[in-house]
Amino acid sequence: MQQFLLQATNLNSAENYLPIGIQLFFAIGFIATMMGLTHFFGPKRKGTDKLQNFESGIEIKGNARQPMAIKYFLVAILFVLFDVEVIFFYPYAVNFRQLGWQGFGAVAMFVGLFITGFIYILKKGALDWED
- Burial label for 78, CB within 10 Å (0-12, 13-18, 19+), is middle
pLDDT band at residue 76 using 50, 70 and 90 as cut-offs: confident
**What is the rounded average pLDDT of the residues 18-37?**
95
pLDDT tens per residue across span 94-127: 887 888 899 899 989 988 988 998 899 889 887 7
Cα–Cα dist 17/24, whole Å: 11
- pTM equals 0.43
- CATH number, domain 2-124, options 3.30.465.10, 1.20.1440.230, 1.20.58.1610, 1.10.510.10: 1.20.58.1610
Residue boundaries of the structural domains of the chain: 2-124
